[in-house]
Copies of this chain bind each other. A is one copy, B any other.
Amino acid sequence: MGIGPGSLDDMTPRARQAIVNADIVVGYNTYIALIRALVENKQLIGTAMMQEIERCQMAVDEALTGKKIAVVSSGDPGIYGMAGLILELVMKQPEAVRPKVTVIPGISAVGAAAAILGAPLMHDFAVISLSDLLTPWELIKKRAEMAAAGDFVIAIYNPKSKKRVTQIEEIRQIVLAHRPSSTPVGIVHQASRTGEEMELSSLAEFTALPIDMFSLVIIGNSQTYVAGGRMITPRGYRV
C-alpha cells in the first residue's frame, strides 16, 4: 500500500483503512516514521534501506500464518515500490497457501512533484530511475536517449545518491542532443514532506543545483515553458 509522498493529508482513506485493519505494519523505517500517528498500537517490522527482500519475505512469512499485513511504500507502491517484490515472493508459495495480495495505490512521488512545479506532465511522459543497482547503466542511458528522441517529458527518480553522482550529468548530455538548452527543468526536493523545496532551472544548468536521493527531476518536452514561476507543458489547446 502507498502512503503517498509523506503527509497524512495525501494518504487516501483506503490506504489509511488498510493500516488500521492490519495486524502488522512492515516497511522501511523512514516511511514508518512518516505514519507514526497511525501505527502506535501496531506490531511493526521496520528495517533499514537496502533490505527490501528480507523485509518483504518477513511480510510474506507473517501473512502465511494468517495475519493481515500492511506493507508500506512511500508514494505509489506500484512505481519503484514494494508491490512487485511482494507479488514475486508470494507467487513462489504453493497456490493452495498463497496469501491474497491487494495493491493499494498512493499519490506517486512524480505526481506530487509535478503538482508542486505546476503542470509539467500534461503531455506524454517517461519515468526513468537512474539507480543502477538493479539495472545496467547502458539500458538506463538507452531509455533516456529514446525518451529524448520521442520528445517525452522525462521524470527522473533517484537522480543521485551518495555513491552515484555523475550519472545525472550523462543524462543531461543525452537529452541536450535532442532539445534546446533553454528547455525548462524542475527539481523538487522532499515533495510534500517537511523540507519541501522546488527549483526551476534549464537543461543548460540544472546539474549545477543541489540534487540528492530525495530529489525528483522533471525535464520538459520541446513545448514546455515557465510562466509566473510555474512549469507548464501545454496539452495543445488553442488558448
Contacts and interface: CB of A to CB of B under 8 A. Distances in A.
Interface of A: 4, 7-14, 17, 52-53, 76-81, 83-92, 95, 98, 101, 103-108, 111-112, 114-116, 118-129, 133-135, 139-140, 142-143, 145-147, 149-152, 227-228, 230, 232-237, 239
Contacts of A133: 236
Given A83-B118, A150-B146, A236 B134 contact: yes
A86 B85 CA distance: 39
Contacts of A89: 239
A104 B76 CA distance: 16
A107 B2 CA distance: 10
A87 B145 contact: no
Given A150-B146, A152-B126, A111 B9 contact: no
Given A126-B147, A129-B124, A76 B233 contact: no
Given A7-B14, A88-B237, A101-B230, 13 more contacts: A10-B105, A53-B237, A83-B122, A84-B233, A85-B239, A105-B111, A105-B112, A108-B108, A126-B127, A134-B235, A134-B237, A146-B149, A146-B152
A104 B115 CA distance: 6
**How many copies of this chain does one complex carry?**
2
A21 to B, nearest CB: 13
A107 B85 CA distance: 21
B76 A111 contact: yes
A85 B235 contact: yes
Contacts of A127: 124-127
A84 B122 contact: yes
Given A112-B105, A142-B150, A235-B134, A122 B9 contact: no
Contact of A11 (B7, B12, B98, B116): B12
B14 A13 contact: no
Given A118-B103, A228-B98, A235-B85, A143 B134 contact: no
Nearest to A126: B126
